[in-house]
Structure 1
Amino acid sequence: MSYTRLTEPLVRDGSGLRPASWEEALDRAAEGIARTVETRGPDAFGVFSCARSTNEMNYVAQKFARAVIGTNNVDSCNRTCHAPSVAGLAQVFGSGGGTSSYQEIEAADVIVMWGSNAREAHPIFFHHVLKAVHNGAKLYVVDPRRTSTAKWAHRWLQLNVGTDIALAHAIGREIICSGLVNRSFIDRATSGFEAYAAEVEQWTPEVAALETGVPAELIEELAHAYARADRAQLCWTLGITEHHNGTDNVLSLINLSLLTGHVGRYGAGLNPLRGQNNVQGGGDMGAIPNRLPGFQDILLPEVRAKFDAAWGSKIQPRYGWHLTQMFEAMDRGELTAVYAIGENPVQSEADSGRTLKRMQNLEHLVVQDIFLTKTAQQAHVVLPAAAAWCESEGTFTNSERRVQRVRKALEPPGGARDDIDIICDIARRLGHDWYYESAEQVWDEMRALSPMHRGMSYQRLAELGGIQWPCYSEDELEPTYLHARLWAEDPAERGEPAGFAPVRHSPPVDELSEEYPLRLTTGRRLDSYNTGVQSGGLSSPMRRGETIDLSPADTEALGVVAGEKVQISSRRGSIVAPVRLDEGLRPGLAFMTFHFPDEVDVNLITIEATDPVAGTAEYKASAIRIDKLPAESAV
């Protein structure tokens, strides 16, 4: 399906959407929001902010939720992908950002890419990885599939889906038993080592090999290479986080860095690679339910007092609902109105058929976007926005915590307007005198409230080509890596120790059975983008559409051939897609993407089981079966 740009507002009359003036659309949007707050209270309302839009927009969106509505129910697609990374890193180190810069990758001796096909999903970052490999670094790739990233690896560890903790624990045990721990770092900068060592004791390489499918000798090799390296980088993406225990997966990797001291030094670190251009920035700006801009805890009275004074409002002293909890609240009838800015949950959420019903049952849905997505098609009001990356001014924050300027290059088409201006128009209709003359004015308001952004003026960002947070002063720059404090000689300078987490292995929720004997994992491909709204309609020789990728052994066992359409079923529903042969898959494992939901909606069959800490769904581990179709349907 090809999506065309939204150029005029739409409002719902009966069962359909019709064009409307901006005045009518904004009035309807505000009236529905006001009605919800007056009749059901502020917590019946939620804001979905946008990880592809600017920092400035995300700041204004979360401010709208808190200062205009009076709720902390604000979140973004960070919940869908990297919320476990933020949760795990924040638990251990106090902040949820990757610890190193891209440049530092080139200085590493060993690089571990775990659950990450960076060659296709993060090609700019992978360019730095290739430079490191060219310089002599050893690249280890841990992935169930032999991806294009794995083809560059010194060693590829093909683990069974959902066995990451078992493998990490076996690596940790081998490091301990071989006397390769960094004992001085552990004693100086960490806590909980003994409990962790007791937890991993059972995971010998031989036991782990049975659970993970990775040969014991490869487990031992990776353990020794990582521990002995002077500088080692451990990088991951959704293969780690999109599980029912994603936060524990992240913690199991952090444990390895604490064992070896591979954190807090140049060239040694932990790096979650973000999937969209401003996933990091959305969280940094407070578009999450438990933190204000700069990761300041909303429960701290002194933090709320600072924002209350600046905004002239009273921030609620409790955490809001994150995205998954908002969907659960819809089921209970407790959340009845949503303002979705640049988010398309009807296509991106697991068990998407259920999500569609939830959105259809809302009493008031306002969608602000650049295309008429499937989510927008369910809205009561649709507001056409400018594309953040080329039609707006502002900043983005990438995976290495680098804030960079974005400059307006094009005028938005038709009547489409800047996101911040639209939000302010609704705020004024709700009784708040909001005006921003520029994105820079928004940024300056934010950095006056967020210490870690304080030194980042627009002028300085332009002069330096971007700045990594934290940056506390316009006169100085902090090191490119985080947590150097852990190496300080003075205990007062080290601060709180980084705690080991003795997490436990837990297999996927969606169990394999005689009826559903295959494991489906999902991911990205280089030539397409997320739910396909922005890339699905493009004509390109690389665009191959959706397929179900199977191993040669499985295609033979099923009696199917490449190109043949088959029915793929889970405990939630069925879809149809053509077969593609992938020799990088082991028998029993299938792969699909979510890039073409208008042709094949993969998320109709993925499981909604979620991580209890982060709320991220287990996209990577659904149980399925594949059935041949009648001859006339299989072509």
Structure 2
Amino acid sequence: MSYDRLTHPLVRENGVLRKATWEEALERAAEGFRRNVERHGPDSFAMLSCARSTNEMNYIGQKFTRVVIGTNNVDSCNRTCHAPSVAGLSAAFGSGGGTSSYQEVEDTDVIVMWGSAARNAHPIFFQHVLKGIHKGARMFAVDPRRTGTAQWADLWLGLNVGTDIPLAHAVAREIIHAGLYNQAFIERATVGFEEFKESVEPWTLTVAEEVTGVPASAIRELAHTYARADRAQLCWTLGITEHHNATDNVRALINLALLTGHVGRYGSGLSPLRGQNNVQGGGDMGAIPNRLPGFQDILDPAIRQRFEGAWGKEIQPQYGLNLTEMLEAMAEGEVTTCYLIGENPVQSEADSLACIKRLSMLDHLVVQDIFLTKTAQMADVVLPASAAWCEADGTFTNSERRVQRVRKALDPPGEARDDIWIMCELARRLGHDWHYDGAEEVWDELRAVSPQHKGMSYQRLAELQGIQWPCPSDDSLEPPYLHGRLWETDPVKRGVPAPFAVLRHSPPVDLLDEEYPLRLTTGRRLDSYNTGVQSSGFASPLRRGETIELCPEDADRLGVVAGEEVRISSRRGSVTAPVYIDPALRPGLVFMTFHFPDEVDTNALTIEATDPISGTAEFKAAAVRVEKLVKAR
């Protein structure tokens, strides 16, 4: 156990956080919520729920927001990473989950890792990839950097940052012109093919090579191999989703699957890989502003009526604010109180200096966490939780939609309490007499209102070692892949066809020029996790701290050597970091992580430009300059 864990509640007095009793802290938190809602209305409240905590905690968190407060302003960290995946998959198929299981990656013929450094960011999933390669699958890596993942690939397509749509369009055009598209599947299961075909026509291999930087021969090889394969998996992560046009990026990859029929069958599918252990579950539980638990649309009157009957409270018939919109509303004085559970936006959000300014404008900030994060240090009330995975009973949902049980092994340290207990105590102080006899009672309430979880009792989850949704009954066990209906010959069983998307290329918002000539892209390393709150306090033989990674050519041009401190500046801020020289980088591209914000606040550099559909920021494409520091004499 880390000795930095929060062990007792804290309240702010005379500008300083001091130790408090649970009674004082809960009263202070609840009174702040009550006061602001009475003054400004329920929509002045916002909650950010935790994608590392259990499904049960996320269910109670969104219920607290909608029932106790009366607003849909609830979101989770999937806004920072995979909200575009949910939006894109939902638009195409009506469901926001990945379509395939991990086992299918082992049993496929072609694996395309697009914008995914899975060896570092998703090491468990990458073991399945390696097993697939060992069985004979070919792998393609599409990434601006020649990552550790790309080193295992048959072919690396090193594209320019922000040119994913042109590359996908060129692959699609080549498949169409070579006559390799699945005409029968397209005619039976999709709509909009002719418009899509016309939209990709300008993206010849020659034009695409000029824009993306990927050789025409490599684009052709990817197109032919993917289209000719009997089974193919297309996987992506933040290299696709952390852009200002991220949902369009996701739709561009979905187009390729629709074009070839690589979806809805065993071994063929589309897989967004989730970065935290319960990102999928947070959304499934309704900890997002536009969906109720079970990913049910909040605008549907019949769905709202079912939840209102179960919860005894009217639900607002409108979408709430997502994380990006919450921060904007704080700046406008429209959101005045915030309840943050297990998230650290001060260090995880793009343009972190702007985020700090907006949080500081709140009348009331309550943070519930296991560490005193930089965000918690700004709070009026800090509530110590038992959010660590070994301290709670409940379930998690991984990237393949598999719900798995976790069981309490340790008691939380000091006076830290279970998240559900904390929220029930707050609810009671706000006039709602909530009592849950453990996590299973919460889960059973969720199963009663979410058809896709109905057949997942704790007993079945334990017996089967996890179940993938959908699981609509106590005796059902669906195929491991989604959307098999698209292959049905009966149009009634086939249901709504999947639409192709007509998309336009939109280059990164933060333009390169003489003052900011280098493209900064960000990501993860193997040994560290997120903003370092849970990993930086432990020794690791792999850890070297934060660095700015440069290719040898750029290092020579700048006159810097490995280990030398340099200043990195964007149009938003500046930081200093030591140089790490990486021969795998191409000239003009630099790389940093966001794991070590106490040393280097990388997100002071990133741009807040967001995808209008999902609200996800463009972490992957900032314009920067790197300067040699002048030493004082």
Interval containing the TM-score (normalised by the shorter chain)? over 0.9
Q: Separation in 2 of the partners of 1:584 and 1:276?
A: 27
| Alignment partner, residue 232 of structure 2 | 232
Q: Separation in 1 of the partners of 2:86 and 2:205?
A: 29
1:46 matches 2:46: yes
The one-character-per-residue Cα deviations of 1:291-338 (angstroms, maximum 9, x if unpaired) are 000011000111011110111100000000000000111111100100
Q: Separation in 2 of the partners of 1:21 and 1:295?
A: 38
Note the C-alpha offset of 1:462.
Answer: 0.2
Amino acid at match of 1:129: V
| Alignment partner, residue 357 of structure 2 | 357
Note the C-alpha offset of 1:110.
Answer: 0.5
Q: Separation in 1 of the partners of 2:390 and 2:140?
A: 37
Note the C-alpha offset of 1:55.
Answer: 0.1
Q: Separation in 2 of the partners of 1:3 and 1:515?
A: 45
| Alignment partner, residue 404 of structure 1 | 404
The one-character-per-residue Cα deviations of 1:198-237 (angstroms, maximum 9, x if unpaired) are 1100000110000000000000000000000000000000
1:295 matches 2:305: no
1:270 matches 2:270: yes
1:180 matches 2:180: yes
**Where do 5+ consecutive residues of structure 1 fail to align?**
none
1:599 matches 2:596: no
| Alignment partner, residue 431 of structure 2 | 431
Alignment of 1:378-397 (within 5 A): 378-397=378-397
Root-mean-square deviation over aligned CA pairs? 0.8
Note the C-alpha offset of 1:632.
Answer: 5.2
1:147 matches 2:152: no
The one-character-per-residue Cα deviations of 1:570-605 (angstroms, maximum 9, x if unpaired) are 000100000000111100000000000000000001
Q: TM-score, normalised by structure 2?
A: 0.99
Contact 2:386/2:416, CA 8 A, preserved across alignment: yes
Contact 1:336/1:363, CA 8 A, preserved across alignment: yes
| Alignment partner, residue 447 of structure 1 | 447
Amino acid at match of 1:496: V
Amino acid at match of 2:491: P
SS of residue paired to 1:482 = coil
| Alignment partner, residue 624 of structure 1 | 624
Amino acid at match of 2:20: A
Q: Separation in 2 of the partners of 1:550 and 1:116?
A: 20
Contact 1:325/1:615, CA 8 A, preserved across alignment: yes
1:577 matches 2:577: yes
Note the C-alpha offset of 1:172.
Answer: 0.3
Paired residue total? 632
1:157 matches 2:188: no
Note the C-alpha offset of 1:47.
Answer: 0.6
Q: Separation in 1 of the partners of 2:487 and 2:502?
A: 23
| Alignment partner, residue 587 of structure 2 | 587
| Alignment partner, residue 23 of structure 1 | 23
Q: Separation in 1 of the partners of 2:369 and 2:131?
A: 38
Contact 2:81/2:242, CA 8 A, preserved across alignment: yes
Contact 1:3/1:372, CA 8 A, preserved across alignment: no
SS of residue paired to 2:283 = helix
Contact 1:85/1:272, CA 8 A, preserved across alignment: yes
| Alignment partner, residue 543 of structure 2 | 543
Contact 2:370/2:388, CA 8 A, preserved across alignment: no
1:521 matches 2:525: no
Amino acid at match of 1:76: S
SS of residue paired to 1:156 = strand
| Alignment partner, residue 130 of structure 1 | 130
Alignment of 1:449-468 (within 5 A): 449-468=449-468
Note the C-alpha offset of 1:631.
Answer: 2.9
SS of residue paired to 2:389 = coil
| Alignment partner, residue 347 of structure 1 | 347
Give the fraction of aligned pairs with identical amino acids, expressed as a percent: 73
Contact 2:453/2:471, CA 8 A, preserved across alignment: yes
Q: Separation in 1 of the partners of 2:39 and 2:606?
A: 36
| Alignment partner, residue 106 of structure 1 | 106
SS of residue paired to 1:631 = coil
Contact 2:331/2:361, CA 8 A, preserved across alignment: no
| Alignment partner, residue 117 of structure 2 | 117
The one-character-per-residue Cα deviations of 1:161-217 (angstroms, maximum 9, x if unpaired) are 000000000000000000000000000000000111111000001100000000000
1:496 matches 2:481: no
| Alignment partner, residue 87 of structure 2 | 87
SS of residue paired to 1:544 = coil
Q: Separation in 2 of the partners of 1:318 and 1:167?
A: 37
Q: Separation in 2 of the partners of 1:496 and 1:466?
A: 29
| Alignment partner, residue 475 of structure 1 | 475
Note the C-alpha offset of 1:3.
Answer: 7.5
Contact 1:3/1:537, CA 8 A, preserved across alignment: no
Note the C-alpha offset of 1:539.
Answer: 1.6
Note the C-alpha offset of 1:361.
Answer: 1.2
Note the C-alpha offset of 1:541.
Answer: 1.9
| Bigger mean CA deviation after superposition, 623-632 or 34-43 | 623-632
| Alignment partner, residue 279 of structure 1 | 279
Note the C-alpha offset of 1:476.
Answer: 1.6
SS of residue paired to 1:535 = coil
Q: Separation in 2 of the partners of 1:197 and 1:565?
A: 50
Q: TM-score, normalised by structure 1?
A: 0.99
Note the C-alpha offset of 1:387.
Answer: 2.7
Q: Separation in 1 of the partners of 2:346 and 2:626?
A: 25
| Alignment partner, residue 308 of structure 1 | 308
SS of residue paired to 1:321 = coil
Q: Separation in 1 of the partners of 2:424 and 2:7?
A: 19
SS of residue paired to 2:417 = coil
Alignment of 1:185-264 (within 5 A): 185-264=185-264
Contact 1:190/1:258, CA 8 A, preserved across alignment: yes
Contact 1:368/1:384, CA 8 A, preserved across alignment: yes
SS of residue paired to 2:224 = helix
Note the C-alpha offset of 1:14.
Answer: 1.7
| Bigger mean CA deviation after superposition, 535-544 or 38-47 | 535-544
Q: Separation in 1 of the partners of 2:197 and 2:131?
A: 35
Amino acid at match of 1:131: K
| Alignment partner, residue 9 of structure 1 | 9
Q: Separation in 2 of the partners of 1:183 and 1:200?
A: 17
Contact 1:49/1:287, CA 8 A, preserved across alignment: yes
SS of residue paired to 1:112 = strand
SS of residue paired to 1:526 = coil
